[in-house]
Amino acid sequence: MKEYDVIVVGGGITGAATARDCAMRGLSTLLVERSDICDGASGRNHGLLHSGARYAVTDREGAEECIRENRILRRIAPNCVEPTGGLFITLPGDSLDYQENFVRCCREAGIDAVPISPREALRLEPAVNPELIGAVKVPDASVDPFRLTDANIIDAMRHGATILKFHTVTGFVRSGGRICGVKVSRPGEIRSKEIRARMVVLAAGIWTAGLARDAGINIGMLPSKGALIIFGHRVAGMVINRCRKPSNADILVPGDVVSVLGTTSDKVPFEDIDDIRATPQEVDLLLREGVSLVPSLSHTRIIRAYAGVRPLVMADSDGDGRSVSRGIVVLDHEQRDGVPGLMTITGGKLTTCRLMAEMVTDAVCARLGVKAACETALRPLPGSGKAHKDDEEVPYFKRAAIGRHGTEVSRMDFDLGHEIICECEQVTRAEIRYAVKTLGVRNISDLRRHTRIGMGTCQGSFCIRKVAEALAEELGQPLREKELIDEYLQERWKGITPVFWGDSLREAEYMQRTHKDEV
């Protein structure tokens, strides 16, 4: 089989950005992902493009990294970013002294933090708690992690990288004491196959700890669970933060047509990381605290709840993980552990994904003797740029796709596929076909990540049969319709069960009755 320069393990945003950087520098690159792209923590966060303000008081270096990368991502991936702006609000019981120190720390880190009056804050964002006693404007934004990951994957492929999804790394190929590749297998396969490379990079989030153990290496990692709630519409136009020491339910992020409230922070055992779900208790906690930020959340429809696991590194065994640094960690295991051929990139944040990739790719190139400069901050990602002329009338069936994919819509055949399959998110058959052919979509949950099918108001209740029929046809597997529906409903059920009351319960009952033959 082909031997690669580098194998990247993990298809989240860090792995995708690393594969892109490696490929752009001329390295023959393979990315291996056990599930679909963005299936782990990268797809289970609040979608905040940090200005760095949240970390300014406690982590100056992290804050400086965030504001630099915030500006870069706005430039290279404008179709993935919505420049909402952000507010940090101080409520009765919070400290105005903390706000004063917060502003000073932000400015020292290069973040444009502007104190404004409570009256001005309410004018800018009427949804905030009217009892606020102080406010600070910061350059926060919302970012779609799925679109950003897709754009990195597409660019990596266009620079020659190979993407191998639905393959689990079962071990490492060794020659003497050196790691020289990975062993992989697909679901249901007993035997593994070997894929060789000059260097292997672990970019698998919290799962990196287990992979490293298979190589005889210990990385002290703390799985920190964060639960979040999705509300059925945008209750605010700006990112709203609580101006205090980070705690539960102190960020509300608008994204597309919904709002995301987060997050909690609790240690969980490694045995639970493959089946992380939000609980009713976590939903109660988030709501109880969240209404202090935005009172209208108390009567806003909840769509679902979900949870992810942060990969915190070198943590103490005590505490909930909030005091642990979210800093970037690059480990050269030849230098650290005497195991050549293996590196790890972990920690960091969604906002710093490009920087993380640059740091580990620099280290890989140094080991391989490759002298090639990083250009990821200079070259726009696929989809950026203008998708149509200013005076061009955009057909209704194309508008939502432009919002999601930008200039990539030129690769979609709307002449043969302008039928709208998902009414809530305005997803056409052409977009489904693009996701299958370009991104290797295999089921409806995968399709949801790449197109937002099923993420709208009805959560798939009305469109799921049409979606399954269209996807089965594009896959060339017309007999899979019932299987596709069943897989999707079982996965969505996990996020609906913690919010079973009121409208959410009635809607779940309706979905159950509508699709009773499939479940």
Core vs surface per residue 494-515: b (16+ CB within 10 A) or e: bbbbbbeeeebeebbeebeeeb
In the block, residue with structure tokens 């964002």: 125
| CA-wise closest residue to 246 among 165, 325, 151, 350 | 325
Taking CA 276 as the corner, what is the angle to CA 270 and CA 277, rounded to the nearest 5 degrees?
A: 150
For the beta carbon of residue 170, count every other beta carbon within 10 angstroms.
15
Helices (H), 130-217: 145-158, 208-214
For residues 52 and 65, the answer to whether their CB atoms sit within 8 Å is: yes
pTM of the shown model? 0.93
For residues 324 and 283, the answer to whether their CB atoms sit within 8 Å is: no
The encoded tokens of residue 339 equal: 């195991």
Rounded CA-CA distance 457/426 in Å is: 12
pLDDT per residue rounded down to tens, the chain (519 residues): 689 999 999 999 999 999 999 999 999 999 999 999 998 899 999 999 999 999 999 999 999 999 999 999 999 999 999 999 999 999 999 999 999 999 999 999 999 999 999 999 999 999 999 999 999 999 999 999 999 999 999 999 999 999 999 999 999 999 989 999 999 999 888 889 999 999 999 999 999 999 999 999 999 998 999 999 999 889 999 999 999 988 888 999 998 888 999 889 999 999 999 989 999 999 999 999 999 999 999 999 998 999 999 988 864 334 454 445 568 999 999 999 999 999 999 999 999 999 999 999 999 999 999 999 999 999 999 999 887 777 788 888 888 899 889 999 999 999 878 899 998 889 999 999 999 999 889 999 889 989 988 887 778 788 888 999 999 999 999 888 888 988 888 877 788 888 877 777 777 777 777 766 655
- For residue 517, the model assigns a pLDDT of 63
Q: Which residues are CB-contacts of 102 (< 8 A; sequence separation ≥ 6)?
A: 53, 56, 57, 88, 113, 136, 243
At 445, the amino acid letter reads: S
Residue range 80-123, pLDDT digits in tens: 999 999 999 999 999 999 999 999 999 999 999 999 999 999 99
Phi, psi angles (nearest 5°) of residue 426 = 55, 50
Rounded CA-CA distance 319/169 in Å is: 32
Residue 358 Cα distances to 243, 246, 249, 330, 340, angstroms: 32, 28, 32, 11, 20
Q: Which domains does the chain have, with CATH numbers?
A: 4-40+146-220+326-368 (3.50.50.60), 80-141+222-311 (3.30.9.10), 396-514 (no CATH)
Phi, psi angles (nearest 5°) of residue 368 = -90, -5
